[in-house]
Amino acid sequence: MRSFFRTVGARGLAAGAACAALSGLLLLPADVAESADHLDPPTRTDAGFDTTPDIPADIADVFAWHSNGTTKIAMTFAGPVATTAPTYYDRDVLYKINVSTQAPGTSPEFVIKFRFGKGQGPNDWGVRIEGLPGVTGTLEGPVETTLTANGVKARVGLYDEPFFFDLIGFRETRSFGTIRIRNDRNFFDGQNDTALVLEIPDANLGTIGSNLDAWGQTLRFGGNL
């Protein structure tokens, strides 16, 4: 699974996710969303096609923005799901956020990796993050907890699905040939994602006032999607 975005100056950008090494389209500085992609490829991640979908490895979206001298990055996955659904932590999935600070933007200067580990209790999960810019070694701790090191903050947990999309309006627009999308009807309302949220000082990235490119990936151990 793979998802791209680019941050430009102080503007926040996001990209829809794509799975199984398929590239997602970009949300460019024109502030127009080219695409957002959940449950893709549907034959592997959508329960309507696969009775055992790989929910934990399904990237939902990547969001990023600059503010107050830091870059915030959030990669959501395992969603959208109902608020009554459990969290989808899986120790056999490797999650990666690649960050490129130099042209051409297709080879990362930073590769941030995170994996989950199981504790003693049934709901006792922890996360290990490595490759954080400006942080030596790994950052480890329980999920649903803000972890900090050298100015970097990281948190993994369950969040309200942040993406807005009128799926009904989109389908009606395709059927009738006229714009039927409404701003008061959100398909993702009341649903959750799991997310890794990072706050990294721009100085750690070496990108003060500069652009960067990044993409998220998930890789399952013991087999391919």
Residue 166 lies in a domain: yes
* Beta-sheet strand order (sheet of 212-220): 2-7, 212-220, 93-100, 110-118, 125-130, 138-142
Residue type, 19: C
- What are the per-10-residue average pLDDT scores of the chain (225 residues)? 41 32 30 51 77 88 87 91 88 93 88 92 89 96 96 95 89 94 92 94 83 86 62
Identify the burial level of 79 via C-beta atoms within 10 angstroms of its C-beta, where 0-12 means exposed, 13-18 middle and 19 or more buried: buried
Residue 169 lies in a domain: yes
- Count of domains forming the chain: 1
Residue 148 lies in a domain: yes
Work out the number of other CB atoms within 10 angstroms of the CB of residue 81: 18
* pLDDT for residue 20: 29
Residue 65 lies in a domain: yes
Residue 14 lies in a domain: yes
Domain residues for 202? Answer: 2-220
* pLDDT for residue 136: 95
State how far the Cα of 72 lies from the Cα of 95, in Å rounded to an integer: 17
Residue 207 lies in a domain: yes
